[in-house]
Amino acid sequence: MPQKRVMQIKEHSLVAPDTWRMVLDGSVSAKPGQFVQVSVSSTYDPLLRRPISVHDDGPDGLALLYRTVGRGTHMLAEKKPGDNLDILGPLGNGFPVPAEQKVILVAGGIGAAPLCYLAKKLGEAGKQVIFLFGAQNATQLYLPKTLIPSLTALEKATDDGSTGHHGLVTELMKKYLENGPLPVYSCGPEGMLRAVVKTAASYNAQAYVSLEARMACGVGACLGCVVELSQKSGKTYQRVCVDGPVFPGEEVFCHGC
Amino acid sequence: MAADLTVKIGNLTLKNPVMPASGCFGYGEEYAPFYDLNKLGAVVVKGTTAKPCLGNPPIRLAETPAGLLNAIGLQNPGVEAAREKIRSLAQTGVTVIVNVAGHSVEDYLKVIEVLEQDEGTAAYEINISCPNVSAGGMAFGTDPRIVESLVKTLRSCTAKPLIIKLSPNVTDIAEIARAAENAGADAVSLINTLLGMAIDTSSRRPLLANITGGLSGPAVKPVALRMVWQVSSAVNIPVIGMGGISNAQDAVEFLLAGADAVAIGAANFVNPTVCIEAVDGIADYLVKNGFSSVTEIIGLAKNTSADKKGGACGCGKK
Ligand SMILES: Cc1cc2nc3c(=O)[nH]c(=O)nc-3n(C[C@H](O)[C@H](O)[C@H](O)COP(=O)(O)OP(=O)(O)OC[C@H]3O[C@@H](n4cnc5c(N)ncnc54)[C@H](O)[C@@H]3O)c2cc1C
Ligand SMILES: Cc1cc2nc3c(=O)[nH]c(=O)nc-3n(C[C@H](O)[C@H](O)[C@H](O)COP(=O)(O)O)c2cc1C
Ligand code: FES
């Protein structure tokens, strides 16, 4: 159940260029893939809360990992440890729990934020996690140090070749899908998600993608955040905030068309 | 002693004057986890049409300074599916006001016809002011003759209170309100959103897929307040005021301007408990200022204004 809560900032630091990690005192009992709506200002400008994924949650607090892109996220970056933050959450459906023992996670840039929490939880459940991480360059490939040893495999790709595979992260998927389909969980820019879904489909693997949309309420009431899905019943608009943010890949990027 | 918060809209008595505005509260389900919806004066549900309506393609929202543009396009499951949701909300004891939308007179009639078969609906709010649908919607709300004939037709179909929701996108909103009153409306509600737009400088295209959208939130409050003042001076039926109300003090301003009740829209998105905080805040205000009932403050700001209003030229300016 979502709740409105005021939480104190415990830690807040720049972990990569334009990328901040914030830890709040307390847990929201989130599932991987869920998010919170953060109030960045107590005035009317900016008016709306900002949706940010749960990057980690548990007894050590609620962690967020975010990139400063516009006014709201820059205002968030100015907050100091000890400050209070008004949070609404946990929100959204989260990633479905896989039946398989082995899963592939494909992260693009800041899309790694929710996948870190997913990887941690899957690892705790005894699953093997293959983490494929792509970004523009090496400096943007931040992962929490504690997560890395728990991964079965970690492979990186950069657009500029500054580290790992020089090229698209989706090109790394093939090696792991060749021996049979594994479920794929992905979050990142739309172009990458489209390629992830296409690659997974070509190996008969099921892909789940976590989407972004401009949001107002975050709880399903305003119908502002919809994405067009192609389902068996035809075209529908579904709310990213409650029906998502995680959707079966083929419903978002229908292959036939 | 606690102040009496009850207000009347036609033959309907509300336990307090606060309700969430249409389109900002779904069918109530989404906000039920946050508080007991029975504490609200009423719940105004999403604009409901005769047939299911897909709505506009995304992007549907754009944040603006102290405001929000939306172009939802009346996405709703249609009256048959909405009926179930309305019934279950009403069963919890909530006073449900159904916002009725359509593209033609027949559309409005169909929705009312279906809902008349149930007990669940306490009143109808007739949306003749939606800026986000291509045909009908706002077009109905901008011509007093069309308003009058639509309201007359609907009046003959129901004995339940008919609240006509007015568009601010007109030259003289008071004239439209009078047309609704003449045709037998029980109340008017205002304002719906103000037509606006936003442009994305990187794509060099309008940000909203619908190109234009409706502006709401704190940015519109002064405009809404002025219109509530004008309309409540022009008609004798109750007025439900809305537009930018974000807390109890804003709500009190609308009551003082002449609103008999208030609705809260976009502020729910920012603060999910705003409606309930407004109910408590209005009660506090009344007690602190020595009023025993909310009806005592309705239109109170006008009492002293009679002698201040108008200069020698009678043009309304000093
Ligand atoms: C479910 C979900 C989870 C997210 N998780 C993260 C995360 O973990 N880390 C992270 O860095 N970012 C995340 N985002 C994106 C983040 O919400 C935006 O970067 C942020 O809202 C931008 O706000 P701004 O004021 O800085 O930018 P501006 O461009 O000034 O914002 C203007 C308006 O557009 C909205 N907006 C702009 N970009 C986006 C976007 N990409 N997605 C949604 N709304 C947007 C803003 O919320 C605001 O209402 C997530 C988005 C969603 C929907
Ligand atoms: C997302 C959104 C959806 C809306 N949908 C409807 C609707 O279906 N029917 C209607 O009459 N008004 C609708 N409105 C208008 C509101 O009911 C209200 O008149 C307006 O937003 C002004 O109030 P506010 O500033 O408190 O939001 C909608 C407003 C918003 C923000
Ligand atoms: S943000 Fe309001 S329905 Fe999703």
CA B20 – ligand 2 centroid, Å: 9
A217 and A188 share one domain = no
Bridge-partner residues for A247, per DSSP?
A209
The DSSP secondary-structure symbol of B200 reads E
Q: Let me know whether A204 and A237 are in one domain.
A: no
Amino acid of residue A236 = T
Give yes or no: residues A107 and A193 share one domain: yes
Beta strands in chain B (DSSP E): 7-9, 12-14, 18-20, 43-48, 61-64, 67-70, 96-100, 121-127, 162-165, 187-190, 194-197, 199-200, 205-206, 212-216, 239-241, 261-264
Say if residue A118 is in the same domain as residue A174.
Answer: yes
Same-domain status, A17 and A55? yes
Q: What's the sign of the alpha-carbon dihedral B20, B25, B29, B31?
A: negative
Among all bound ligands, the one having the nearest atom to the CA of B267 is 2
Assess contact for B178 and B234: CB atoms under 8 A: yes
Residue B297, domain CATH: 3.20.20.70
Q: How far apart are CA B133 and CA B137, in angstroms?
A: 6
Q: Token digits for B96?
A: 């449900």
Count the neighbouring beta carbons within 10 Å of the beta carbon of residue A81.
13
Over residues A21-30, the mean pLDDT reads: 97
**Are A101 and A188 found together in one domain?**
yes
Q: Which residue has the tokens 């919607």?
A: B137
Distance CA A106, CA B139 (A): 49
- For residue B315, tell me if it sits in a domain: no
Give how many domains chain B has, as a whole number.
1
Q: Which residue type is seen at A210?
A: S
Q: Cβ A226–B23 below 8 Å, yes or no? A: no
Q: Which residues of chain B have pLDDT under 50?
A: 306-318
In the three-class reduction of DSSP (H, G, I as helix; E, B as strand; rest coil), residue A134 is classed as strand
In a domain, B250, yes or no: yes
A73 lines ligand 1 (CB under 6 A): yes
A232 and A185 fall within a common domain:
no
The confidence score (pLDDT) of residue B142 equals 86
CB distance B169 to B197 below 8 Å: no
Is the peptide bond prior to B191 cis by the omega test (within 30 degrees of 0)? yes
Q: Are B111 and B51 in contact (CB under 8 A)?
A: no
Residue keyed to tokens 């995304």:
B58
Residue B312: what pLDDT? 45
| Domain that includes residue A7, residue range | 3-91
Q: Going along A188-233, which residue ranges are E strands?
A: 207-210, 226-231
Average pLDDT, chain A: 96
Complex prediction ipTM? 0.94
Q: Quick check: A225 and B30 CB within 8 A?
A: no
User: Which residues of B fall within a CB distance of 8 Å from A230?
Assistant: none
* pLDDT tens track for A66-91: 999 999 999 999 999 999 999 999 99
Q: Is the bond preceding A189 in cis, omega lying within 30 degrees of 0?
A: no
**Residue B14 within any structural domain of the chain:** yes
Measured between beta carbons, the chain A residues lying within 8 angstroms of B270 are: 39, 47-49
Contacts of B148 (CB under 8 A, 6+ apart): B179, B180, B182, B183
Residue B80 and residue B61: Cα distance in Å, rounded?
27
| A194 vs B318 pLDDT, higher one | A194
CB A97 within 8 A of CB A34: no
Which residue has tokens 């309700």? B19
**Any residues with CB less than 8 A from the CB of A101 and at least 6 apart, and which?**
A126, A127, A128
For B80, phi then psi, to 5°, come to -65, -45
A71, A91, A111 — which closes off a domain? A91
Q: What is the distance in angstroms between the CA of the first residue and the CA of the last residue of chain B?
A: 42
Phi and psi torsions of B256, nearest 5°: -65, -30
Its pTM stands at 0.95
Residue A142 C-alpha from the chain's centroid: 14
Distance A120 CA to ligand 3 centre (A): 28
B202 at A interface, C-beta within 8 A: no
* Same structural domain, A64 and A117: no
How many Cα atoms within 13 Å fall on the side-chain side of residue A164? 22
Task: Please tell me the predicted confidence (pLDDT) of residue A254.
Answer: 76
- Number of Cβ pairs < 8 A linking chain A and chain B: 101
**Within this chain, do residues A103 and A203 fall inside the same structural domain, yes or no?**
yes
Q: How many CB atoms lie within 10 A of CB A120?
A: 21
- Strands, DSSP E only, in B10-75? 12-14, 18-20, 43-48, 61-64, 67-70
- CA–CA distance, A17 with B253 (Å, rounded to integer): 47
Residue type, A107: A
For residue B203, count other CB atoms closer than 10 A to its CB.
8
How many other C-beta atoms lie within 10 A of the C-beta of residue A153?
14
Single out the residue in A44, A66, A91 at which a domain terminates.
A91
Q: How far apart are CA B238 and CA A242, in angstroms?
A: 37
CATH at residue A44: 2.40.30.10
A176 and A129 within one domain: yes
Residue A48 burial (10 A CB sphere; 0-12, 13-18, 19+): buried
Q: How far apart are CA B201 and CA B131, in angstroms?
A: 24
pLDDT for the residue numbered B311:
42
Q: What domain range is B171 assigned to?
A: 7-308
A218 part of contact set with chain B, CB < 8 Å: yes
Sign of the C-alpha dihedral, residues A158, A161, A164, A167? Answer: positive
Element (H, E) at B270: helix B267-270
Radius of gyration of chain B (CA): 19
Give how far B54 is from chain A: nearest CA, Å.
Answer: 7
Measured CA to CA, the distance from residue A109 to residue A133 in angstroms comes to 8
CATH number of the domain enclosing A150: 3.40.50.80
Residue B318 in any domain: the answer is no
Contact criterion met (CB < 8 Å) for B33 and A46 = no
B2 in a structural domain: no
Of B206, B208, B129, the closest CA to residue B169 belongs to: B129
Same domain, A110 and A83: no
Atom of ligand 3 nearest to the CA of A216: 1
Distance of CA A181 to the CA centre of its chain: 22
Task: Specify whether A64 is located in the same domain as A138.
Answer: no
Q: What is the dihedral of CA A35, A41, A45, A48, to 10 degrees?
A: 20
What's the number of domains chain A is made of? 3
Span A121-168, pLDDT tens digits: 999 999 999 999 999 999 999 999 999 999 999 999 999 999 999 999
